[in-house]
Amino acid sequence: METRVFSITRAEEGERLDRFIVRVVPQISRSLAARWIEQTSEGWGGIWVNGKTSRPSYRLRGGDEVTIQIPPPEPTTLQPEEIPLTILYEDEELLVINKAQGMVVHPAPGTPHGTLVNAVLAHTDELSDAGGDERPGIVHRLDKDTSGLLVVAKTDRALRQLQAQLQARQMERRYLAVVWGTPKFDEAIVDAPIGRHPVDRKKMAVIEDTRHKAREARTELKVLRRFGSLFTLLEAKLQTGRTHQIRVHCAYIHHPVVGDPVYGGERHLPQKEVAFDIRKRLEGLLERLPGQALHAYSLAFVHPVTGEPLCFQADPPEPMQALITALEEIFVPMGKAK
């Protein structure tokens, strides 16, 4: 891994860190420089200012020492791969896909193959490259272990118009989430800024300390079912689209998404509150979950060319649906579900 160290002169004072990186490493784009800065971690590479992680917008000061560790190269050519896709809609402008749990959306360090982009390229060679060579056609993303609906643009005009809808909060994205515990609210808006965790840079967190970078994040939550005091089925509607937003916000209100290994969703059932046979049944279903019980079940937007309103829905993957079905069978007859 190549390491470069720069001492900032007075002439360079006030320059944004991401712009400085592009200037001294001209073969990379500004968006890639920002990603290096935000994903900085030992063993992978990244950017440090005076030995500490920083943010793309940081203004350099005279005497600062900037250390750049060039991360391992990403694949320069995306390869089509014959991977099954569940396509709900397709025309000349876009596709709507029900992404499988466990599938990464686009190649990144450590995941050069097997992504949704690789699969889509095998399905069609007509994808917009306006968003960059690394993420052709990608309008928005889902976490690897979050299943559900997303839209992919085939043309540049579709990509630009769909991204404009997303930024204007005109694209409606709704999720189903099984969370631990029972919230006190029936409906709520979690309004809490999210940024990269100040210590564990691989995680996101609600950031209330203004010394650390964070962006506005708002999630609408609605209780659909309560399963005793153990679990709740929530509908989550995104008003913003931050990395891991629903998972972080649910953990922040002390109701983490079931099965989430990063944000406290891997818990054990209480022995005293649940009968032995029910506990064993639920434990088996929890073990079958390949990740967090979070599914993007509804997606609505306006067609970027025709102006037609489009709305799509998709059921959760089988392990998550099996858990919900079992909870309904167990708790609804007991009168404990809402």
What pLDDT, in 10s, does the model give residues 114-128? Answer: 899 999 999 998 888
Helices and strands (DSSP H and E) totals, the chain = 7, 14
Q: What's the token pair of residue 293?
A: 């019980």
Cα 113 to Cα 131: distance, rounded to the nearest angstrom: 19
Do 87-167 and 172-300+323-331 show the same overall fold?
A: yes
Cα 331 to Cα 338: distance, rounded to the nearest angstrom: 10
- Show the DSSP H helices in the chain as ranges: 17-24, 30-38, 116-123, 156-167, 245-252, 276-288, 318-331
Decide: 103 and 144 in contact? Cβ < 8 Å.
Answer: yes
Q: Hey, what's the torsion of the CAs at 142, 162, 315, 84, to 10 degrees?
A: -70
Q: What's the token pair of residue 90?
A: 């397709």
Look at residue 133 in the predicted model and tell me its pLDDT: 58
Look at residue 334 in the predicted model and tell me its pLDDT: 47
Decide: 175 and 158 in contact? Cβ < 8 Å.
Answer: no
Look at residue 31 in the predicted model and tell me its pLDDT: 76
Q: Which residues are catalytic?
A: 143
What is the Cα Rg of the chain in Å?
Answer: 22
Q: Which CATH class is domain 87-167?
A: alpha beta
Say which CATH topology domain 3-69 has.
3.10.290
Angle between helices 30-38 and 17-24 (to 10 degrees): 120
Look at residue 273 in the predicted model and tell me its pLDDT: 78
Cα 282 to Cα 280: distance, rounded to the nearest angstrom: 5
Look at residue 132 in the predicted model and tell me its pLDDT: 60
CA distances from 333 to 224, 269, 281, 310, 326 (A): 16, 20, 17, 37, 12
Decide: 207 and 198 in contact? Cβ < 8 Å.
Answer: yes
The owner of tokens 């990509």 is 159
Q: How far apart are the first and last CA of the chain?
A: 55
Look at residue 168 in the predicted model and tell me its pLDDT: 93
Domain ranges in the chain?
3-69, 87-167, 172-300+323-331
Single-letter residue type at 237: K
Kindly provide the residue ranges of all beta strands, DSSP E only, lying in 172-249, ordered along the sequence. Answer: 172-180, 187-191, 194-196, 204-206, 218-227, 231-238
Q: What's the token pair of residue 129?
A: 């490259």
Decide: 153 and 159 in contact? Cβ < 8 Å.
Answer: yes
Q: What's the token pair of residue 116?
A: 């949704």
Q: Within 13 Å and on the Cβ side, how many CA atoms surround 176?
A: 20
Low-confidence ranges of the chain (pLDDT < 70): 1, 27, 41-45, 71-77, 109-110, 130-134, 201, 333-338
Q: What's the token pair of residue 53?
A: 């992680």
Look at residue 335 in the predicted model and tell me its pLDDT: 45
Nearest alpha-carbon partner for 56 in 64, 65, 43, 46 = 46
The owner of tokens 């979070």 is 294
Look at residue 120 in the predicted model and tell me its pLDDT: 94
Decide: 104 and 120 in contact? Cβ < 8 Å.
Answer: no
**CATH (one of 1.10.1060.10, 3.30.2350.10, 3.40.1380.20, 3.30.565.60) for 172-300+323-331:** 3.30.2350.10
Q: What are phi and psi of 180, to 5 degrees?
A: -80, 140
